[in-house]
Amino acid sequence: MTPNYYFTLFPMEALIASQHDPEHFGTYMATGSRDGSSDPLIFIAVDPSFPGFDWEYAKSECVPHPDGRPKNSVYLSIYRVLERIPLAALGDLYLTTRDGRTLALPKQAYVQSDPGPAFHVYQELCPVHPLVVSKLAPREFGQYITGAKTKLQLPKIAFADLKVVDFDNLENSGNIGSLYDRNIAHLKRCVESVTSGSPKATKTLERSHVESFTFNIIKSGIYLSDGTDMAVYPMPSLDELRARAYDWARSALII
Amino acid sequence: MDVMLYSALVLGVISLSYALYRKSWIERQDPGNEKLQEISKNIRDGAMAFMVREYKVMVVVVVAVAALLIAFKTRPGGLNLRWIGLSFVLGAILSGLAGLIGMRAATRANACTANAAQKGLVPALHVAFTGGSVMGLSVVGLAVIGLSSLVLFYVRFLGVSADNPQSMIDLMEIVSGYSLGASSVALFARVGGGIFTKAADVGADLAGKVIQGIPEDDPRNPATIADNVGDNVGDVAGLGSDLCESYIASIIGAMVLGAEMLKSMTFMALPLGVASVGILSSIIGTFFVRTREGGNPRKALSLGTIGASVLMLVGVFFLLQVTLPDAAMEGVGFTRMGLFLAICAGLVGGVLVGLITEYYTADDTKAVMEVARQSQTGAATNIIAGIQVGMLATGWPVVVLVAAMLGAYHFAGLYGIAIAAVGMLGTTGIQLAIDAYGPIADNAGGLAEMSKMPAAVRERTDKLDAVGNTTAAIGKGFAIGSATLTALALFVAFKESAGLEVIDITKAKVMGGLLFGAMLPYVFTSFIMGAVGRAAFQMIEEVKRQFREIKGIMDGEGKPDYVSCVDIATKAAIREMILPSLAAVTLPVLVGGLGGTEMLGGVLVGVTASCVMLALFTANSGGAWDNAKKYIEGGHYGGKGSDAHKAAVVGDTVGDPFKDTAGPAMDIVLKLMSVVSLIIVKMGFVTNPLF
């Protein structure tokens, strides 16, 4: 049985070999083999056709248990993983809820919405986790973060484009979780900061923000960028979720 | 008199026959695919296992109490009072039977409703309501068959006549046992069912949703079947026994006054005549419950209630004209129109209390939205807001009940108050059908989730369930209102039977009794809230154990042990229901035996005031917390997963035993203590107090 390779980008960065298919791998990682964990997970299938990792080690270790059970996981790396994986090697992305249900998001080409909104809120997912407000569209934001002009440059970035609340109608927010619960006033200031005509492209809303990130706040999708190329994983619409992923959407607190 | 007694018997038989016909119709419906049937069977088996064990305990109690009643001596020259034992046993059997028939139909209708939802909303509503109507029509049918049969039997074989007023008084004493039998079953069904349902619900929610992140009704949650079983044993069988008891007690309360105060066989039988009209109106009202695809099920159900109420008023107006000739009205102190208006006061009062409850608990009202808003700052403010709503919500219902009571008294004196209670409960058949529809729709939603039916089906069942939540809130208000008027009717009967002109609250003994009475509902509530907490704790530990020890539950490869969760809830409910139930029965006996009738009167005043307030408070705050959570889940204040939602989940969890265990139990405590007091007074148990 050939191992599958998964790059987990949230909540921890790792490259893992496993004999499970993505659904089972997601359940195993989210809920553990026994009682213990209950964490959401974002991971991407990886085609092991590039150097930089010990694929032979993975093949030799990722073998069934003596009783025939498939091997759950063999960790190949847990440090600076994203920067070493070419975007072209990335396959489908999977969103696993904390109760272990997995939704596959196929990789697609980037489409610039025109005109885009005046600002975006991005949750950086890997390798760092700040929550930022930006007037840049996803492609430009990826280029900005990975560009040489940026003082705090990253080699690659994975981030999610998030839903934004209507400041004039906070009550009718929709199901977006707790991300903005404690920082609405600061969010307003950040939005003003990037939209008031100042040269500032992005403004940090929170420095590290992972605990309150939930799938129900993802708006257009999840993006990975190295500055030149982008891997885009659009989020299905509510109607699509109802039609093809109802159980997942319930577990993800969307429905 | 005979006409009213026989018409009650005939309409009771018609109601029961129609209920059984509808039950057979339910049984002919397609229960869906194998998976659906398997889950439904699990729920049915769990519910039946609970009922069997509950009824075993009840049998012991019923036999013991019946033996005690039979042991009482007959007064010289009076009727053979030992017949009270037969009345008691029959009341207990028929009340238990009504719960059983209703629950069997409900646990069958749930799968059929889920399956019918594949075709559309209309067939699903039809099946769910038909399932509920089995409960409603069985309850009123059996209650009236039993009561009218007993009265006819005793009148014929014991020689009761208006010429011998003592025989009428004795008859009422014997017949009161019927109410006591129904009350005893209702107490166990309501308290036991209430503990079961909320232990399972809270356990399933906390262990599944909060700890494990599993959505509601997910088959991976080991407590999910127990949760669905709870809907049936608590909200179907428990509610059925509760309203059955109110129904019987209100009729008997009015009959007692007709016999003892007015000394008239006609006025003694009139409550059964009014009940007959109510039964007929309820049966016809079930035909008004119709909607079209895309229509509003709530409107269809409301049309049924309103239609039945209007029909009943028209029917009662003619009943009074026909059965109360001028000669019968001589010397009674009120007119036919006065009597009619007293019945109107009861009926309108019941509807209004239900609507007010809806106002404080429906998810789009100001009160609920305020609780939701307060959830943004955490669980503490959510709890404070819910308590505030619950306390405020005692206001208008009490105003309405007092107005109904004063109005009824103004129009027809003390008898008016009692007949107003009968008027309020006249449409119990359809009211209960609509109440029982709620848990069927709720179960259907659970079954649709567990059997992974298409999203469109689940959305239809969700729509039916949402309506069920509203009707449940209205039903709770109605149950409280009817319990209050019934208790007042029984209190008046108690006062007449005890020969009390006044109950002087400046006497230390009376004030002491009043305080005892006011205290009991709180202590009782403490018992059952504690019981829910302990059982839920056990349930959570069991669910956690299963997740830990049964491999593959979360990925669907391992199967949870549903039976053990049902077993935990069952054992806890049976064990924990005994002490509070005994407390409610023994307090009036002790106080009456030690302090006499006046002190016992004080107890009844205290318990009435305290129970009504506590029932309204718990029902409304629990409902407000529940719907505040649902309001947030509808996409407000961050929606699901937000801090406001987490706070609202805490409030809802606190509110669950409030509204579904403590509140409904108050209705029973109130009526049971009144019935026990009435009987011990009638049996002369309190004539020679120790103090």
Q: Is B213's CB within 8 Å of A251's CB?
A: yes
A3's tokens = 């191992």
A69: contact with B, CB 8 A cutoff: no
Q: Confidence band (pLDDT; 50, 70, 90) for B318? A: very high
Q: Measure CB to CB from residue B455 to each of A35, A98, A242 and give the nearest one.
A: A242
Q: Residue B178 phi/psi, 5° resolution?
A: -60, -45
- Does pLDDT of B260 surpass 70? yes
What is the nearest CA distance from B549 to chain A, expressed in angstroms?
7
Chain B residues in contact with A33 by the CB 8 A cut-off are 551
What pLDDT sits at residue B99?
A: 85
Distance CA B67, CA B69 (A): 5
Helix (H) or strand (E) holding B426: none
Q: Measure CB to CB from residue A35 to each of B544, B633, B646 and give the nearest one.
A: B544
Helix (H, G, I), strand (E, B) or coil at B362: coil
Q: Confidence band (pLDDT; 50, 70, 90) for B93? A: very high
What is the edge-to-edge ordering of all strands in the sheet holding A157-162? A202-206, A131-134, A120-126, A157-162, A218-225, A230-234
A179 in the same domain as A237: yes
Q: How many domains does chain A have?
A: 2
A88: contact with B, CB 8 A cutoff: no
Residues 201 through 220 of chain A touching chain B, CB cutoff 8 Å:
214, 216
Whether residue A185 is contained in a domain is answered as yes
Residues 6+ apart with CB under 8 A from B641: A175, A176, A177, A178, A214, A216, A253
A217 in the same domain as A94: no
Q: Confidence band (pLDDT; 50, 70, 90) for A13? A: very high
Q: Measure CB to CB from residue A100 to each of B452, B554, B645 and give the nearest one.
A: B554
A112: contact with B, CB 8 A cutoff: no
Chain B residues in contact with A178 by the CB 8 A cut-off are 638, 641-643, 645-646
A179 in the same domain as A144: yes
Tell me: the pLDDT tens digits for B464-490?
A: 887 887 787 788 888 888 888 888 888
B689's tokens = 């107090």
Q: Measure CB to CB from residue A177 to each of B213, B544, B642 and give the nearest one.
A: B642
Which of B210, B211, B214, B633 is the mutation pick for testing A, counting most A CBs within 10 A? Answer: B214
Chain B residues in contact with A174 by the CB 8 A cut-off are 635, 639
Whether residue A10 is contained in a domain is answered as yes
A171: contact with B, CB 8 A cutoff: yes
What pLDDT sits at residue B397?
A: 93
ipTM above 0.95, yes or no: no
Nearest to B441, CA basis, from B208, B111, B102: B111
Least confident of A222-226, B234-238, B382-386, B535-539: B234-238
Least confident of A132-136, B130-134, B674-678: B674-678
A244 in the same domain as A125: yes
A135 in the same domain as A214: yes
| Domain ranges (residues) in chain B | 2-682
Which domain range does residue A245 map to? 120-251
Residues 6+ apart with CB under 8 A from A245: A103, A236
Residues 354 through 373 of chain B touching chain A, CB cutoff 8 Å:
373
Closest Cα in chain B to A34:
B548
B213's tokens = 């992140």
Chain A residues in contact with B455 by the CB 8 A cut-off are 242-243, 246
- Does pLDDT of A38 surpass 80? no
What pLDDT sits at residue B500?
A: 86
Q: Is B213's CB within 8 Å of A99's CB?
A: yes
Whether residue A112 is contained in a domain is answered as no
Residues recorded for chain A: 255
DSSP for B613-662 reads HHHHHHHHHHHHHHHHHHHHHTT-TT-TTSHHHHHHHHHHHHHHHIIIII
What pLDDT sits at residue B690?
A: 67
Which of A163, A173, A212, A242 is the mutation pick for testing B, counting most B CBs within 10 A? Answer: A173
The percent of residues in chain B predicted with pLDDT above 70, rounded, is 98
A8: contact with B, CB 8 A cutoff: no
pLDDT mean over A113-128: 85
Residues 6+ apart with CB under 8 A from B557: B551
Q: How many CB pairs under 8 A join A and B?
A: 92
Tell me: the pLDDT tens digits for B572-613?
A: 888 888 888 888 888 888 988 888 899 999 999 999 999 999
What distances in angstroms separate CA A205 from CA A142, B392, B640, one per listed residue? 17, 41, 22
B685's tokens = 């148990």
What pLDDT sits at residue B544?
A: 87
Tell me: the pLDDT tens digits for A174-231?
A: 888 887 777 788 889 999 988 888 888 889 888 876 777 889 999 999 999 998 999 9
Question: Would you say B509 and B605 are in contact if contact means Cβ atoms under 8 Å apart?
Answer: no
A165 in the same domain as A82: no
Whether residue A114 is contained in a domain is answered as no
A240 in the same domain as A157: yes
Residues 6+ apart with CB under 8 A from B549: none
Whether residue A147 is contained in a domain is answered as yes
Distance CA A155, CA A82 (A): 9
A90 in the same domain as A131: no
Tell me: the pLDDT tens digits for B346-360?
A: 988 888 888 888 888
B221's tokens = 């949650």
What is the nearest CA distance from A16 to chain B, expressed in angstroms?
20
- Does pLDDT of B669 surpass 80? yes
A213 in the same domain as A240: yes
Whether residue A111 is contained in a domain is answered as no
Which of A39, A176, A218 is the mutation pick for testing B, counting most B CBs within 10 A? Answer: A176
A127 in the same domain as A60: no
Q: Is B548's CB within 8 Å of A35's CB?
A: yes
Q: Measure CB to CB from residue B639 to each of A27, A176, A247 and give the nearest one.
A: A176
Q: How far apart are the first and last CA of chain B?
A: 43
What pLDDT sits at residue B180?
A: 87
Q: Is A174's CB within 8 Å of B639's CB?
A: yes
What pLDDT sits at residue A168?
A: 84
Q: Is B638's CB within 8 Å of A247's CB?
A: no
Whether residue A82 is contained in a domain is answered as yes
Q: Measure CB to CB from residue A35 to each of B547, B635, B640 and give the nearest one.
A: B547
What pLDDT sits at residue B76?
A: 59
Q: Measure CB to CB from residue B455 to each of A30, A180, A246 and give the nearest one.
A: A246
What is the nearest CA distance from A161 to chain B, expressed in angstroms?
17
What is the edge-to-edge ordering of all strands in the sheet holding A74-77? A74-77, A14-18, A4-10, A41-46, A90-96, A102-105
Q: Measure CB to CB from residue B213 to each of A97, A171, A180 and give the nearest one.
A: A97
In terms of phi and psi (left: phi > 0; alpha: psi -120 to 50; beta: otherwise), the region of A105 is beta
Nearest to B80, CA basis, from B90, B71, B88: B71
The percent of residues in chain B predicted with pLDDT above 90, rounded, is 34
DSSP for chain A reads -PPEEEEEEESS-EEEEESS-HHHHHHHHHH-SSTT----EEEEEE---SSSS-HHHHHHH----TTSPPP--EEEE-SS-GGGS-GGGEEEEEEE-TTS-EEEE--B-----SSPPS-EEEEEEES---EEEESS-HHHHHHHHHSTT-TT--S-EEEEEE----TT-TT---S-TTTTTT-HHHHHHHHHHHHSS-S--EEEEESS--TT--GGGEEEEEEEE-SS-EEEEEPPPHHHHHHH-HHHHHHTT--
A64 in the same domain as A18: yes
Domain limit, last residue, from A79, A105, A131: A105
β-strand pairing of A74-77 with A90-96: unpaired
A98 in the same domain as A17: yes
Q: Is A182's CB within 8 Å of B213's CB?
A: no
What pLDDT sits at residue A158?
A: 96
Q: Is B555's CB within 8 Å of A28's CB?
A: yes
Chain A residues in contact with B218 by the CB 8 A cut-off are 99
